[in-house]
Amino acid sequence: MAIKIIFSDIDGTFLNSQKKVTDLTAQAVKSIIAKNLKFVLVSARMPEAIYPITEKIGVKIPVISYNGALILTEDEKILNDKKILAVDAKNILSEMFKGWDDISVGYYSGRKWFVQKIDERIEYEIKSTKVQTEISNFDELLEKNILPNKIFVRCDPKICEEMEFELGKKFKNLNVVRSAPHLLEVMDKSVSKAEGIKILLNHYGASKDEAIAFGDNYNDIEMLKYIPRSVAMANAPDGVRKFARFVTDSNDDSGIYTYLAKIGVIEK
């Protein structure tokens, strides 16, 4: 069956270890669009942390942000906007601040990023994503019904693993998952990259058998399990690669280009 749509994670997959798009990866995306195929970036990032990447390449493409909680077409039309319920957000934030001290918490609502204070980790995130944050009290945001699509925590890997286990066990109606050893993402239970992909496939009238999915980390597992032609990067941990049907070169070696050229979706 012919391929109609390609989904790709961003960090560790689409971007290399220097957080840049290689020339060959950019070439692959442009070739796909030139063939009237769809290329979609799928990420835990917010839209404002994705668009600078696509603008630099010079393309307009659909994005699945917040792991699927906010989905936008290439024209930035909203297809999905799933928020965490106020009571759930309030309870899990309270549990976070009560149980752990050395954590940096971000509150993402729509296309805005809020923090209660700026520390070294938040400064790093600002520098890395090129997105400015707003300082605001989370309780006040909830009172104004400005609900989060995602709550994001940066912390020591040991604390992150502990938080994932403890919070995941206590908040069964939320999706609590690490996107990296030091990063924890919290969304509504219905949110995953796989569910986001289903929404876009339906929108574009394509089936999962007409898709390819590229990923490298733990929050990509549901996506890799859902798409039959799933591809893990060589830099992915063994615990992620085992869920993919194929393994390509690393993100530093333009693995997306390598695989797409190998199977003839694009020309070398």
pLDDT at 254: 98
- The answer to whether the CB of 183 falls within 8 A of the CB of 154 is yes
SS3 135: strand
pLDDT at 84: 98
Instruction: Give me the sign of the Cα torsion angle 88, 112, 187, 161.
Output: negative
Structure tokens at 47: 């839209």
pLDDT at 127: 87
**What is the value of pTM for the model shown?**
0.91
pLDDT at 88: 97
List the one residue out of 184, 191, 253, 247 whose CA is nearest residue 214: 247
What CA–CA distance (Å, rounded) separates 181 from 156? Answer: 8
What are the start-end ranges of the E strands in 189-239?
211-215, 230-232
pLDDT string in tens for the chain (268-residue length): 799 999 999 999 999 999 999 999 999 999 999 999 999 999 999 999 999 999 999 999 999 999 999 999 999 999 999 999 999 999 999 999 999 999 999 999 999 999 999 999 999 989 888 899 999 999 999 999 999 999 999 999 999 999 999 999 999 999 998 888 899 999 999 999 999 999 999 999 999 999 999 999 888 999 999 999 999 999 999 999 999 999 999 999 999 999 999 999 999 8
Element housing 78 (H / E) = strand 78-81
pLDDT at 5: 98
- The answer to whether the CB of 169 falls within 8 A of the CB of 156 is no
- The secondary structure of the chain in percent helix, strand, coil, rounded to multiples of 5, reads 40, 25, 35
Structure tokens at 241: 């690669």
Pairing verdict, β 174-180 and 150-155? unpaired
pLDDT at 233: 98
What CA–CA distance (Å, rounded) separates 251 from 17? Answer: 7
Q: How many CB atoms lie within 10 A of CB 134?
A: 10
pLDDT at 24: 98
What CA–CA distance (Å, rounded) separates 236 from 222? Answer: 15
Q: Which residues 6+ apart lie within 8 Å of 137 measured at CB?
A: 116
Give the bridge partners for 174, in sequence order.
188
pLDDT at 268: 83
Phi, psi of 4 (to 5 degrees): -115, -25
List the one residue out of 191, 221, 192, 179 whose CA is nearest residue 12: 179
